[in-house]
A and B are shown apart, each in its own frame.
Chain A
Amino acid sequence: MDIQVCIGSVCHLKGSYDIINKLEALIDKNQLSDRVKIKAAFCLGECVGAVSVKVDEDIYSVQPDTVDNFFKTVVLEKVM
């Protein structure tokens, strides 16, 4: 499964860098690195809800302090 984190201008300012690092740490911690890949995407077109994170065909609005929750409710839910 791919997780695409938007790194367009707005998302970058709102914390893409932190979100990518946190997600990578969470994937490592849960030993999912062979099943979940983090990718960056240029502007997903959902700038109002920055930071945009796309999993499958759904786009979620994630903040650096909601990464844990997002990982639990969306990522783990999908891979488990």
Chain B
Amino acid sequence: MYFIDTTYNSINKYGEELCGDHIEQINLEDSKILVLADGMGSGVKANILATLTSKIAATMLREGSSLEETIDTIVHTLPVCSQRHLAYSTFTIIKVFKTGVVYVAEFDNPAIFIFKNGQDVPINKIKKVINEKVIYESVFKLDEDSLLVAVSDGVIHAGVGKSLSLGWQWNNVNEYLRDFSATETTTNAVTGNVLEVCQNLYENQAGDDTTVIAVKIRHQETINLFSGPPKNPENDYAVIEEILRAEGKVVVCGGTTASIVARTLGTEMEVDLSTMTPDIPPVGKIPRIELVTEGVLTINKAIELIRGYINPGFNSKILAQLNENNAAAMLSKLLIENCDKLNIWVGQAVNPAHQNDSFPMDFNFKINQLKELGRIVEKMGKEVNINYI
């Protein structure tokens, strides 16, 4: 069983507040379904067409409807454009199973890209006509060295009338992605990089809504995030032993918690002052612990960063912020890139910090904050468990 790593993002057409491309992701027990829909036109109308199409498709497929039924429903549901007397939204449906098997149905979007070890992977597509619409279906298998990318036509046309008279074109995008896939391993880097190239080709004034989805599979990576001392101090040792024995990496968030961990392990904690910023306390170092940070302030900032990262609408600043040398950026990056399953261990003891009346963040704030962190990590398609200790 693999973890299915998906990243997607869009650039809106220049001057538009709404995106005419829409992606709907559904996480199922055994698979993930992604639907990329590109509504006709731009702005509000395109946004409605794309949202309806992707929502209908994702919901129906999740409930087990066939492709025929789904497409039939979409065709009969979409509002008809008064100018063109057409109801139209292209789409790509990708269903990835945890075994690595992928099912794809494509309707009028640019063909999907598949690579393995820096080489193209040819696949067989079966042509199907449903309601006079030509759909290409394919089934294939991904492994840990493969990369699957789907784009809207905004990518293929990037630069039309600006830097490139014919746009970026499928073959060139394929070549670019092939080279890039040989060196880059994260879906996040693929999506961010392709969108950045598009932004440049469009000279920062995208002529169309532009969307990229990247899919990879990999073995599951687990993070154990430990924050707050256990309720009963007598349990400190047993709890820390249990967390260290658990599968995956350990992250400690909280000054008091970190001191207890260091003491239990019989070591001293070092603090790396170079990571200190006016907003965020520095990181500490304890052997066997992947990352040691202060608690509430750092987690608060990390939640803000991850929110910015998953917010639809491409923001190139967020990638730079995630690479800064501070505890919140390191924590966010770890949760975004190297975490498929997050176990949050919430210590329920009252901290010394809570005794300072002028400290604005009380005990409940801390608990709610960790729950919120769990919620946004879940939103990225990862599995989250919260344990109270």
Contacts and interface: CB of A to CB of B under 8 A. Distances in A.
B352 A7 contact: no
A39 B281 CA distance: 13
Given A8-B255, A47-B355, A20 B284 contact: no
A70 interface: no
B343 to A, nearest CB: 22
B335 interface: no
Given A9-B297, A12-B294, A45 B352 contact: yes
Given A17-B276, A39-B271, A42-B294, A9 B259 contact: no
Contacts of A10: 353, 356, 359
Contacts of B282: 7, 40
B36 interface: no
A38 to B, nearest CB: 8
Interface string B100-141: 000000000000000000000000000000000000000000
B144 to A, nearest CB: 38
A16 interface: yes
A48 interface: yes
Contacts of B278: 17
Contacts of B353: 8-10, 43, 47
Given A40-B276, A42-B255, A45-B256, A12 B356 contact: no
Contacts of B259: 42-43, 45
A44 B107 CA distance: 62
Contact of B297 (A12, A20, A43): A12
B271 A9 contact: no
Interface string B352-387: 111110011100000000000000000000000000
A45 B282 CA distance: 18
B223 interface: no
Interface string A19-57: 010000000000000000011111101111010000000
Contacts of A17: 276-278
Nearest to A39: B271
A13 interface: yes
B276 A7 contact: yes
B255 to A, nearest CB: 3
B293 to A, nearest CB: 9
A5 to B, nearest CB: 9
Interface residues of B, number: 28
A17 B56 CA distance: 52
A47 B276 CA distance: 19
B154 interface: no
B238 interface: no
B296 interface: yes
Contacts of A48: 352, 355-356
A46 B352 contact: yes
A71 B87 CA distance: 75
Interface in B263-287: 269, 271, 273, 276-278, 281-282, 284
Contacts of B20: none
Contacts of B292: 42
Residue of A13, A16, A39, A43 most packed against chain B (CB within 10 A):
A43
A38 B273 CA distance: 10
Nearest to A8: B255
Interface in B242-269: 254-256, 258-259, 269
B295 interface: yes
20 contacts: A7-B255, A8-B255, A8-B256, A9-B281, A9-B359, A10-B356, A12-B281, A20-B273, A20-B276, A39-B271, A40-B282, A41-B269, A42-B255, A42-B292, A45-B256, A46-B352, A47-B351, A47-B353, A47-B355, A47-B359
Interface of A: 6-10, 12-13, 16-17, 20, 38-43, 45-48, 50
Which 5 pairs show the lowest CB-CB distances between chains A and B?
A43-B255, A8-B255, A42-B255, A40-B271, A7-B281
Given A7-B271, A45-B256, 19 more contacts: A7-B255, A8-B255, A9-B281, A9-B295, A9-B297, A9-B353, A16-B281, A20-B273, A38-B273, A40-B271, A40-B273, A42-B255, A42-B256, A43-B254, A43-B351, A45-B259, A47-B353, A48-B356, A50-B359
